[in-house]
Amino acid sequence: MRGFLVGMARHTKVAVMVISDSVSLLLALWLALSLRYGVLWVPTTAREALCFVAAAVSGVVAFSVAGLYRWMVRYVSAQTLLVIFKALLVSALILATAILLLRADLPRSTPILYALIATILVAGSRFLAQRLLREKDEGQRIPVLIYGAGSTGHQIGLALHRGNTYQPVAYVDDNPAMHGMTAYGLRVYPSRELPRLVEEYGVQEILLALPSLSNSRRREILLSLDPLSIKVRTVPRMQDIVAGKVSADEIQDVDPADLLGRDPVPPRPDLLGATITGKTVLVTGAGGSIGSELCRQIVGLSPRCLILFEISEFALYAIESELRAQGEGGGPRLIPLLGSAQNEILLQDVMERFAVDTVFHAAAYKHVPLVEHNVIEGVRNNVFGTRAAARAAVAAGVSTFVLISTDKAVRPTNIMGASKRLAELVLQAMAGASRTRFCMVRFGNVLGSSGSVVPLFRDQIRRGGPLTVTHPDIIRYFMTIPEAAQLVIQAAAMAEGGDVFLLDMGEPVRIAELAKRMIHLMGYHERTPEFPDGEIEIVYTGLRPGEKLYEELLVGEAAMPTGHPRIMRAMESSLAAGELDVVLQQLDQFCAARNVKEIHVCFEKLRIGFVSAGNSDHLSNSTQRPDGRVTRLA
């Protein structure tokens, strides 16, 4: 039956609906009169018969004018019922007029009864047709369980009932008051019955319909679902729904950020706008992971002008297009500029021409293995690029200069980290000799950035594995890109000159455990010697050149609190300007001579804890602290 109905031409379907509606309208009027008289009523005069014609014709015309015949029957809803009722009120009015004009001997209550009965018959025929059109073998639909029986869960349940892909089988909710209740024919169960429900209904996916849940509670739920090895999907967060970025019934894969469980700390408005609102702001590396997020948040803080400085043409085009679409013709002035952060003359010209107030220096090479294989370019960009930008800022009279640093700058075992530590020392030395307030913001890995393990793992899982992890015990700190950018902006407002700010990265994450949880939450099993039938294998590839088992944020042992609970100020020693100039001059000469070995030696002599990657014995020993502890910020 379903195949026959679906295969009909559109005009044939409309004709069938018109005939069905005509019959329903005639039947409705006959039933109305029969109920009114209490007997099976039969028309006895031509005037009464004409009233039947008036009801059928007026009803079909009203449906046509209301656009009812343009609606797809398989998607009828409560809104359709409302349209039908309104159209039938018009038809009832026409029927009442016809009874008066024809002087038919019919009760005055007839049009009212007719409208009510006709609504039931016409709407019922459409819901029946919907059922037939969407009739499908239940075995071909994916059985899913909805976690969350609130308004969002009900919206998801209704959307799934209308579709042909998923078959919702039950709700699960942690609210005891909802247990045992039903919604759209589905019962609400407590979460403790999840294992039984999964087995009983053959659940293949769990939909997490809890958009307003706190991050910590969301993490608890995800960890409780981990042993089930069922694919977990989720609806967007409430802030994304409110912002209009997505709809509440848009189903997404679980964001690994949910596994962090970090509840956001409300930003301080006075800190957010201090270096941005009403000012001209320049962001170097504006198309990168951190730089682009800084630009997104800066635009929302009403700067006078935002300069997007980027060496990659495509990255610059992408972020400018996004920001212009976000502003929809309004917002601050956007100036996209192509150029290298090593070009001091260009940067000074830009800063002077546009009277830049604040610089966020995010341009850097940050991928550890790539910088290890491209030492000279890494040093030139990270060290001399930072110095060029800082010099330009001083010459142009910039008020605040913020360097985006990294936890890999602490006791570095790779050139990327060593170059970022030297960049910090450059700014600390310049801070005491200029009116520009220099500060550095140091933090660890951000989820979703280019080179991050999270998108890598997701792609590897989708390709069927294996997942590549460097070491079973490797540990990293993670935070989301938006949180990192927001904290960077607030830290900039607290700068006094030469400050090194540290962002609280939360609890450490064991990369191997993250990989296992991502496998489970995407609905697969890990392949191990004990479980050879698993779909995804984890392969340990060994530490890469310059890579440590853990990362730190502190060079020393002390960090002072600030006015923000997740921003600390480090108390660290720096180098005198004269000593630093000698180091930079030597590095410049070695880069010009392309002498990578001497560059390593130069960093070793700098007393920043750097151990050359060329010394394998030192490198292997430096990946683990003697006491086995992982340094973190409380």
Cis peptide before 412 (omega within 30 of 0): no
Distance CA(110)–CA(614), nearest Å, equals: 97
Strand 186-189, strand 182-183: pairing: antiparallel
CA distance 3 to 164: 14
**How many CA atoms within 13 Å lie on the side-chain side of 376?**
11
Residues 190, 179: contact at Cβ < 8 Å?
yes
With beta carbons less than 8 A apart as the criterion, state whether 444 and 405 touch: no
Instruction: Yes or no: say if 403 and 600 are a contact pair by the CB < 8 Å rule.
Output: no
Segments in the chain below pLDDT 50: 137-139, 248, 614-634
Q: In the structure encoding, which two tokens stand for residue 376, read together?
A: 């000279």
Do 138-254 and 269-445+478-506+552-621 come out as alike in CATH topology? yes
Task: Please report which helix (H) or strand (E) contains residue 576, including its range.
Answer: none
Residue 594 in tokens: 């392309």
* Residues 247, 237: Cα–Cα separation, whole Å: 10
Residue 78 corresponds to which amino acid? A
pTM: 0.68
Question: What number does CATH give the domain 269-445+478-506+552-621?
Answer: 3.40.50.720
Please enumerate in sequence order all residues whose Cβ is within 8 A of that of 101, keeping only pairs 6 or more positions apart, or say none: none
**Per-residue pLDDT, 634:** 29
Beta bridge partners of 306: 281, 334
CA 131 vs. chain centroid, Å, equals: 35
Q: Which helix (H) or strand (E) holds 41?
A: none
d(CA 317, CA 326): 14
Spans of all domains in the chain: 2-133, 138-254, 269-445+478-506+552-621
**Alpha-helix runs per DSSP H in 134-266:** 151-162, 194-201, 215-225, 238-242
Beta strands in 481-612 (DSSP E): 499-503, 509-510, 526-527, 536-540, 559-561, 567-570
- Quote the DSSP letter at residue 154: H
What is the CATH architecture assignment of 138-254? Answer: 3-Layer(aba) Sandwich (3.40)
Give me the pLDDT at residue 480, please: 83
CB distance 430 to 394 below 8 Å: yes
Of 158, 166, 160, 162, residue with least CA distance to 142: 166
Residue 307 and residue 339 in contact, taking contact as beta carbons nearer than 8 Å: no
What's the confidence (pLDDT) of residue 623?
35
- Which pair of structure tokens corresponds to residue 304? 């006078």
SS3 of residue 633 by DSSP: coil
Radius of gyration of the chain (CA): 34
Residue 576, class by beta-carbon neighbours within 10 Å (0-12 exposed, 13-18 middle, 19+ buried)?
Answer: exposed
Strand partners, 537: 527
pLDDT of amino acid 329: 62
Lookup: tokens for 14: 């409309």
Amino acid of residue 238: M
Instruction: Give 540's strand partners.
Output: 469
pLDDT at 292: 95
Q: Residue 459: how many CB atoms within 10 A of its CB?
A: 10
- Dig out the tokens for 353 from the structure: 């021409």
